[in-house]
Amino acid sequence: MQINKPAGEIVPAAFDADGNQYGYVHSIETGAAVDGPGMRFALFVSGCQFRCLYCHNPDTWKLHNGKQYTVDNIVAEIGKYASFLRIAGGLTISGGEPLMQAHFIGEIFRRAKHDLKIHTALDTQGFLAAHLPDEYFDNIDLVLLDIKQFNPEKYEALTSKPLQPTLDFTERLIRMQKKIWLRYVLVPGISDDEADVEGLAQYLGDLNRLAPDLIERVEVLPFHKMGEDKWAELGMKYELTDTRPPSQELVHRVREQFRAQGLFCC
């Protein structure tokens, strides 16, 4: 399968004076319940090339706004909970966009999988994945994949980046037999158009029929404005101030569109 490399780059691996690999972390949550199956140790890293209009963590956009941690620091922290995580959940790395720091998180995933023996999940939009070989994903059990719109023009207006690299990565995950949880943020006036949703539902349905059980679920996430204050604190204009959360009827309609394609949707 030919993969076209997208614009943008993964940051180089970084090492301190003692030879320890390090990266930048926005925050850590030790009891996350919405970032993969079970209870998760959720690591939110810094850096993102997207500029999504509804982003609720714009403070993660700049890589060096995060706190510097070595891989050893992070693995030791995860290790405190490893015996619980083995039976109750696992590790999820999110962001920001984790693949901006692919070398840093790749080593954390490797050690979490082989040393701590816990379930691993990556939360990504996949834009940078074409820079990485298939073997990179061997230590990742589940991908929480964000497809934010299916109309290419609307996708770029929403995120500032093209859609195709994410679709390429979706199809690559299917080829690699990777489990997927698809995440779709439902924003009135931006991602609620019936035809756009139907296009995505049919696309995913076709992939699911090609490789049953790999797309384990579609999560329709109702838009909220919880990050609006952060935009103000950073001196940036929040474009969705007048956008209301989707109605229950709209959420139901969109979920039913995915279900009609044979997908489990919640």
Q: Which DSSP helix (H) or strand (E) runs through 203?
A: helix 194-210
In a domain, 167, yes or no: yes
In a domain, 3, yes or no: no
CATH code of 146's domain: 3.20.20.70
User: How many other CB atoms sit within 10 Å of the CB of residue 219?
Assistant: 17
User: How many other CB atoms sit within 10 Å of the CB of residue 212?
Assistant: 9
CA 89, CA 266: separation in Å to the nearest integer?
Answer: 19
In a domain, 5, yes or no: no
Residue 93: give the domain boundaries.
21-259
pTM above 0.75, yes or no: yes
In a domain, 237, yes or no: yes
**Phi, psi (rounded to 5 degrees) for 29:** -125, 125
In a domain, 8, yes or no: no
CA 61, CA 8: separation in Å to the nearest integer?
Answer: 14
Which tens digit of pLDDT belongs to each residue from 20-75?
Answer: 999 999 999 999 999 999 999 999 999 999 999 999 899 999 999 999 999 999 99
CA 56, CA 24: separation in Å to the nearest integer?
Answer: 19
Which tens digit of pLDDT belongs to each residue from 137-193?
Answer: 999 999 999 999 999 999 999 999 999 999 999 999 999 999 999 999 999 999 999
In a domain, 233, yes or no: yes
- As a whole number, the mean pLDDT across the chain is 95
In a domain, 151, yes or no: yes
Q: Please name the residue ranges forming H helices in 124-239.
A: 152-159, 164-175, 194-210, 228-233
In a domain, 15, yes or no: no
Number of domains in the chain: 1
CA 180, CA 211: separation in Å to the nearest integer?
Answer: 11
Banded model confidence at residue 227, pLDDT cuts 50, 70, 90: confident
Question: Which amino acid, one-letter code, is at 234?
Answer: L
